[in-house]
Amino acid sequence: MDYFLQNVVNALQWGSFYALIALGYSMVYSIMMLFNFAHGDIFMTGSYIGFGVATLLLTLWAAVGLSMPGWVTLALTILISMLLTAMLGVLVERIGYRPLRDAPRASAAITGLMIGIILETGNLAILGARRLSFPSLIESVTYHFGGIYVTNKKILIVGVSLALMYALHLFIQRTRWGMAMRAMSFDFQVVPLMGVSLNVIAPLTFAVGSGLAAAAGILYGLAYPVLDPYMGVLLGWKAFVAAILGGRGSILGAALAGFLLGFIEIFVPMIFPSTLRDLIAYSIILLILTFKPHGFFGQAHSTQLRL
């Protein structure tokens, strides 16, 4: 039982990365019906930006002679990196997606894929092939609940991700921007005629998604403090699967599917050999999509492809 609960905790942590990244995919997808294949690499870049900001802040504190508590540095790091990565997201939208708005959807997917490769390679070219280790900003404390070990980092990661998801939910449901986004995802061809510019909403979507990816990247760096340029590839594709699995335009669906994927990936090795993890995870996804072809919360919509 303890073993099981311990894995639940691990799965919550692992799933929150998928959920945060999947939200970015899901938002772009629901508003413009496009795949943003660069998103996994935006996550990676966000992690690197977080590394840079954290190192900068730490040197700054040391230079000034301040002794800041770790959580202040962490909060500042997350906020600044989210802002910077949001700008990167806007840039990606401007270069890779806006010129292709009337093009076949697959072409935009290809530009996204290529921007991802450029981000990876640019990173490799600038920083070299060595791996960076993310500074541990807060002291690790382990709590015991019965037989379960929970570090404060795990609590922080799950807590911050849930808080961000709730903030996103409030943003989408309560603000005028969110209302515009919801309207746009309902019909992105008619709503621009009503005075909501797609040229404002699309960059906003990319910015919010990229900000969430940056937060995921920093939290990932806290949990697994080794950064390498290709860390976003596999995680990104898997989060993409989770986003689609959740259903189009459903924030809740994307988050739930992210956690589901995390749970599957943690619990399969409990029962089966760990090499079977991908096989079983994807077989489950295949089965779900065969019997529920529009994901968890997606409505059936006409998929008239623009080609």
User: Terminal CA-to-CA distance of the chain, rounded, Å?
Assistant: 53
Among 44, 78, 109, 216, binds other proteins (CB under 8 A): 109
Query: What's the sign of the alpha-carbon dihedral 32, 23, 206, 208?
Result: positive
Is residue 289 close enough to count as binding other proteins by CB under 8 A? yes
Is residue 110 close enough to count as binding other proteins by CB under 8 A? yes
Is residue 241 close enough to count as binding other proteins by CB under 8 A? yes
Compose the 115-134 pattern: x for residues touching other proteins by CB under 8 A, - for all others.
x-xx-xxx-xx---------
Is residue 199 close enough to count as binding other proteins by CB under 8 A? no
Closer to other proteins by Cβ: residue 34 or 181:
34
Nearest to residue 206, comparing CAs of 23, 10, 62? Answer: 23
Closer to other proteins by Cβ: residue 140 or 274:
274
Count of alpha carbons within 13 Å of 221, Cβ hemisphere only?
34
Stretch that binds other proteins, among 1-9, 58-66, 71-79, 275-283 (CB under 8 A): 275-283
> Per DSSP, what are the bridge partners of residue 151?
142
Q: Please, what is the angle between helix 198-223 and helix 39-64, to 10°?
A: 60
What is the closest distance, in whole angstroms, from the C-beta atom of residue 218 to other proteins in the complex? 24
Nearest to residue 218, comparing CAs of 171, 263, 161? Answer: 161
DSSP 29-94: HHHH----TTHHHHHHHHHHHHHHHHHHHHHHHHHHT----HHHHHHHHHHHHHHHHHHHHHHHII
What is the closest distance, in whole angstroms, from the C-beta atom of residue 26 to other proteins in the complex? 11
Among 90, 113, 156, 252, binds other proteins (CB under 8 A): 113
Count of alpha carbons within 13 Å of 115, Cβ hemisphere only?
26
Query: Do 226 and 133 form a contact (C-beta atoms < 8 A)?
Result: yes
> Per DSSP, what are the bridge partners of residue 145?
148
The rounded distance, in Å, linking the Cα atoms of 216 and 19 is 9
What is the closest distance, in whole angstroms, from the C-beta atom of residue 36 to other proteins in the complex? 13
DSSP 96-140: IIGGGTTS-HHHHHHHHHHHHHHHHHHHHHHH-SSPEE----S--
Query: What's the sign of the alpha-carbon dihedral 163, 165, 168, 170?
Result: negative
Is residue 35 close enough to count as binding other proteins by CB under 8 A? yes
Cα torsion at 187, 192, 197, 202 (round to 10°)? 20
Is residue 104 close enough to count as binding other proteins by CB under 8 A? yes
Is residue 189 close enough to count as binding other proteins by CB under 8 A? no
Among 28, 168, 201, 244, binds other proteins (CB under 8 A): 244
What is the closest distance, in whole angstroms, from the C-beta atom of residue 264 to other proteins in the complex? 12
Among 8, 62, 270, 286, binds other proteins (CB under 8 A): 286
Closer to other proteins by Cβ: residue 3 or 230:
230
Is residue 305 close enough to count as binding other proteins by CB under 8 A? yes
What is the closest distance, in whole angstroms, from the C-beta atom of residue 249 to other proteins in the complex? 12
Among 72, 234, 270, 299, binds other proteins (CB under 8 A): 234
Closer to other proteins by Cβ: residue 191 or 285:
285
To which H or E segment does residue 159 belong? helix 152-174
Q: Can you give the binding site for other proteins, defined by CB under 8 A?
A: 29, 35, 95-96, 99-100, 102-111, 113-115, 117-118, 120-122, 124-125, 233-234, 237, 240-241, 244-245, 248, 273, 275-279, 282-283, 285-286, 289-290, 293-295, 303-305, 307
